[in-house]
Structure 1
Amino acid sequence: MNSKIIFLDVDGTLVDYHNHLPENAVQAIHKAQKNGHQVYTVTGRAKAEMYSYILDIGFDGYIGGNGSYIESKGQVVKEKTLSAEDTQQIVDWLKNRGLEFYLESNNGLFGSENFASRGVKTIQEYIAYKGKPGAKQATPATVFPDMIYGEPLYRDDVNKISFILDSYNDYLAAQENFPSLKVGTWGGVGETALFGDIALKDIDKAVAIDELLEFLGKDVQDTLAFGDATVDIPMLNHCQIGVAMGNGGKEIKEMADYITASVEDDGLYKAFEYFQLI
C-alpha cells in the first residue's frame, strides 16, 4: 500500500467526550506510523487543549482551531488569529449581552468570570446530547481541566471564541454584529445548539488539509479522514476516504464512505485494520 496521510478529529473520534483515550487507538496510530503512514490530528481544539496524554502519542503534526493553526513535525506551517481589536470587540459584546465564554489560544484557554459556574448546566446538557454516561457529574473543570480564570481577556493570540448560548437569538445576534467573521454553533443542531463560536472567515478543516498537503508535497488521493460531527464533514468529503465514527451524528454518517464502530468500541483500531493501515 502507498503511504497514506491520516487525519483524525479529536473529540468523539480519538477520545470520548469525557476525554478518555482508548489504549488500542494509540496502538493503531503507532502501528500505522511504523508501516510508513503519517497521522495528523484535525480539531477545533487550540493547542492548549492538546493535553500531554494526547501529544505524547507522537503525531506527525497537528491542525487546530478548525484550521487556523497547522504544525508539521514541530514546524509551524500556518497560524492565523483574530486581531486584538476583533477580540476586544467580541469580548465587550459578550459581556454587555451577559454571555459567558472562553478564549481559545495556543497559549491557554481563558474563561470569563462566571464561565465555571454558568457552564455546569450547559456542559451537562452537552454530554447528555452526545449520549454519554456520567453527564450529571460533568463540569467545566472536568471537560476543560486547564481553563485559566482571572487573566486579561483582551489578547492578540486568540484562534476563536466560544460562548454559551442563552438562546438561539444570541447566535443570530452575533452573526448580525460580526458580519466579517465566521459565526457558528456547536453542541446541537439549529435552535438546540448549546454554544456559539466566532472565528476568522475562510477557515475550515478541508482548507487546512490542502494547505498542509501543499507544504508536504502530497496528494489528496493518499488521504483518509476520520470524524464524528458536522464540522468534520468538509474534511471527510475532501479526503479520498471519509470515515464516520459509530457515535457520530446522522449527517456525517450519511455522507461518509465508511462507518466504523464508536470510540468506546475500538472504532479507530477496527477502521485502521479494515483499510489495511495496520
Structure 2
Amino acid sequence: MEPYLIITDIDGTLAVDHQHVSPRTVAALNACMDQGHQFFVATGRMYALAKIIANQVGPRAGVIGSNGAVYDFGGKRVHHLLGEKALRAVNEITESHGLTAFYFTDDTVYYTKTPPTFVADALRVFDKGLTVEVKEVGTLENLLAHKERITNGIVISPRDSFGLKRSMNELDASGLLHVSASNTDNMELIPKGIDKATAIQELQKLTGIPAERTIAFGDGMNDRGMLQVAGISVAMANAVAAVKNIAKYETASNTEDGIAKFLEQRFNLPHPHIN
C-alpha cells in the first residue's frame, strides 16, 4: 500500500479531554504507522505542549505546532517566526483594547503585562507542560529580545468579545500576520502566510505524499485550511458547522474514538477490544 499522511488536530479531535488520547485511538494510529503511513498532530499549541500529546501516541508521531509555524521533519525542526513588525503591531493594538497577548517559543510563554485573574487562570494549562516556562517581560523592548524565537501567540478574552473583535479586525487589516481563532473567546496570532495548511503542503512536498493520500481530522475554525488541502478531509461529530460544511467525511466525536473508527474502516484495521 502506498503511504498516507495522517494529520489530526488535538483539542476536540485527538484528545478526549484536552490532555489524553484514548487507548483505541493510540492503537489505530500505531497500526497505521506500522503499515508505513506517517502521522502528525497539528495544533495551535506551542511545540512543547503539542509534543506531550504526540508522545502519548508514540515516538514516531510528528508535530505540527503553533498553527503551522513549527513542525518536525527528518529529525529536524522547521520554524516560521512572527517577526518584529508583527510583534509591535500586536502589542500596540491589544494594549489599546485592554487585552493581554501571550507569545510562544517552542518551550516558553512570554507576556508584557500582568493579565486579569480570569485570563491568568487560562495559563494553568501550561502547568501540565513540565518543560514550559511562563515569563512576564514587562516591556515591548524586552519582548523583542526574544523575536528570533517567537513563532506565534494568542489573546484570550472571555469577557470582552467586542475588544477581541476590534483587535482581530485591526491586526488583520495590518497585513503583518495571519489571524485566526480556535474558539470564540480567543485570537490566534500566526506568521503571515502560515497556517496548518501551509505546514501540511510543505510536508506533502517533503514526503512526496500527495493531497489525495492525505487524511486530515479537525473540529474548529482553524482546521478549515488543513482540511481543504487534504484529499480526505474528516470532520468530527462535535465539529463546528463551518468545518462540517467543507469536510468530505464525518466521523464520531473525539470522546467516541472518532479518529480510530475512521482509520479502522479505511485501512481495514482489526477492531481492538479496548475500553
TM-score, normalised with respect to structure 2: 0.82
- Given that 2:216 and 2:230 are in contact with CA atoms closer than 8 Å, whether structure 1 keeps it comes out as yes
Q: Name the residue aligned to 2:261.
A: 270
Partner residue of 2:188 out of 179, 182, 197:
197
Partner residue of 1:214 out of 199, 202, 205:
205
- The list of structure 1 runs, each at least 4 consecutive aligned residues, that deviate by more than 6 angstroms after superposition, is none
Q: Which segment drifts farther, 250-259 or 221-230?
A: 250-259
CA distance in 2, matches of 1:140, 1:212: 32
Q: Name the residue aligned to 2:218.
A: 227
224 and 140 in structure 1: CA distance in 2 versus 1, 3 angstrom threshold = same
CA distance in 2, matches of 1:48, 1:160: 13
* AA in 1 matched with 2:122: P
94 and 141 in structure 1: CA distance in 2 versus 1, 3 angstrom threshold = closer
CA distance in 2, matches of 1:21, 1:112: 34
Q: Name the residue aligned to 1:5.
A: 5
Q: Name the residue aligned to 1:153.
A: 143
CA distance in 1, matches of 2:162, 2:107: 30
* AA in 1 matched with 2:243: I
**Deviation of 1:187 (Å):** 4.9
CA distance in 1, matches of 2:101, 2:5: 35
How do residues 124-143 of structure 1 correspond to structure 2 at under 5 angstroms? 139-143=121-125
- Given that 1:164 and 1:194 are in contact with CA atoms closer than 8 Å, whether structure 2 keeps it comes out as yes
**Deviation of 1:255 (Å):** 2.1
**Deviation of 1:176 (Å):** 2.4
**Deviation of 1:266 (Å):** 1.2
* AA in 1 matched with 2:24: N
**Deviation of 1:28 (Å):** 1.3
What secondary structure does 2:203 align onto? helix
* AA in 1 matched with 2:221: T
Is residue 2:171 matched to residue 1:180?
A: no
Q: Name the residue aligned to 1:27.
A: 27
- Given that 2:54 and 2:63 are in contact with CA atoms closer than 8 Å, whether structure 1 keeps it comes out as no
Specify every segment of 5 or more residues in structure 2 that has no aligned partner in the other structure, as ranges.
270-275
- Given that 1:246 and 1:260 are in contact with CA atoms closer than 8 Å, whether structure 2 keeps it comes out as yes
* AA in 1 matched with 2:29: I
* AA in 2 matched with 1:217: G
* AA in 2 matched with 1:160: N
208 and 53 in structure 1: CA distance in 2 versus 1, 3 angstrom threshold = closer
What secondary structure does 2:19 align onto? coil
Q: Name the residue aligned to 2:118.
A: 118
* AA in 1 matched with 2:32: A
The count of corresponding residues between Structure 1 and Structure 2 is: 255
CA distance in 2, matches of 1:174, 1:249: 20
- Given that 1:49 and 1:108 are in contact with CA atoms closer than 8 Å, whether structure 2 keeps it comes out as no
What secondary structure does 1:13 align onto? coil
Is residue 2:250 matched to residue 1:259?
A: yes
- Given that 2:54 and 2:61 are in contact with CA atoms closer than 8 Å, whether structure 1 keeps it comes out as no
What secondary structure does 1:21 align onto? coil
Q: Name the residue aligned to 1:163.
A: 155
200 and 175 in structure 1: CA distance in 2 versus 1, 3 angstrom threshold = farther
CA distance in 2, matches of 1:86, 1:231: 20
60 and 19 in structure 1: CA distance in 2 versus 1, 3 angstrom threshold = closer
Specify every segment of 5 or more residues in structure 1 that has no aligned partner in the other structure, as ranges.
121-138
CA distance in 2, matches of 1:147, 1:30: 31
113 and 173 in structure 1: CA distance in 2 versus 1, 3 angstrom threshold = closer
Percent identity, aligned pairs only, is 27
CA distance in 1, matches of 2:95, 2:89: 10
TM-score, normalised with respect to structure 1: 0.81
Structure 1 vs Structure 2 CA RMSD: 2.4
* AA in 1 matched with 2:19: N
- Given that 1:9 and 1:227 are in contact with CA atoms closer than 8 Å, whether structure 2 keeps it comes out as yes
CA distance in 2, matches of 1:255, 1:16: 23
Q: Name the residue aligned to 1:126.
A: none
- Given that 1:91 and 1:153 are in contact with CA atoms closer than 8 Å, whether structure 2 keeps it comes out as no
167 and 82 in structure 1: CA distance in 2 versus 1, 3 angstrom threshold = same
